A and B are shown apart, each in its own frame.
Chain A
């Protein structure tokens, strides 16, 4: 299904919701909930907060559907609301949320040709936590850009539409975000992950 097909399907569902069919909105929620939670989690770094934000996003979208004029794709509008609400939530939250992953990281089993010895697993967990900490301290605009690029694989133009900036700004933010992450993870990268 191409992006245009997705866009057309979304528009059809939105029209049905505006006509009073609440079940169509259920379809929209199911279609986008994982993506919205993923983006929110990437910014706020807390699962429960991400779920709360996602709920608020979908409620706000439902109440504002009449204002959606179709000038942009639906997901562009949805992701913009998600990013803005996540950033607002993060600003209001005074206590620092830390993420320390103690369980098994799923992708450890996906690395081809790598042994998963206990020391290796420990190393990977340490890198995982270090990367999470590094992402956490990125400026909001760089973090939002990185999240949209790495989670949703959106193009620079799509990210620019969501964040209402130029593609040059997107490129610049990604460059500086990756530069910072690389500087913080340099010792681990040289060990050969």
Chain B
């Protein structure tokens, strides 16, 4: 594929930086052999690169020997140091998530258990039946009152249900 001079001038620039492969280098050398314009461009760029590197080296050598550290150290506050230390001590995200989820689950379980047992703690009902009669023992834990009902056998079933409903509510 035939390339134009713009392509070869780009290769010249890349060659200055040793960023072309052997094939491209060979291709460029062949073109420079026959194209005067690109050859002049190559010579100018080599000269200019030398000058540019020297100019930029002046930038670094003009830099004062005084270290920046004295100024930087003075601006680092204890807050900056604590930011680093805090982040280091902070738990990984997944551990924090597991702990938070556990607390939430246990909290919900605790609340639900208390609600259920709260109804039951309100009263304790025990039913004892015999052939002739039934005895219901009603014990209110909060007031510490015990009521014992003696019931006849005929109305035991209805009364039992009503009493049980009333005790729970």
Contact = CB atoms under 8 A, between A and B. Distances in A.
A55 B56 contact: no
Given A59-B76, A65-B84, A149-B17, A182 B48 contact: yes
A182 B63 contact: no
B159 to A, nearest CB: 73
Given A131-B55, A174-B13, A175-B13, A33 B67 contact: yes
Given A51-B68, A127-B51, A22 B9 contact: no
B69 A26 contact: yes
B158 interface: no
Interface string B1-18: 000000001100110110
Contacts of B17: 149, 155-156, 174
Interface stretch (A70-78, A87-95, A185-193): A185-193
B68 A22 contact: no
A23 B9 CA distance: 49
A3 to B, nearest CB: 16
Contact of A107 (B10, B54, B81): B54
Interface of A is mostly: helix
A66 interface: yes
A67 to B, nearest CB: 9
Nearest to A35: B60
Given A66-B87, A174-B14, 12 more contacts: A20-B88, A29-B69, A34-B63, A41-B59, A51-B68, A66-B84, A105-B58, A107-B58, A151-B56, A156-B14, A171-B10, A181-B52
Interface of B: 9-10, 13-14, 16-17, 19, 41, 44-45, 47-64, 67-69, 71-73, 75-76, 80-81, 83-85, 87-88
13 contacts: A20-B81, A22-B76, A37-B60, A41-B62, A55-B68, A58-B68, A63-B83, A66-B83, A66-B84, A127-B51, A172-B10, A175-B13, A179-B9
Minimum-distance CB pairs A-B, first 10: A107-B54, A66-B87, A175-B13, A38-B60, A41-B59, A151-B56, A150-B56, A175-B10, A33-B68, A29-B69
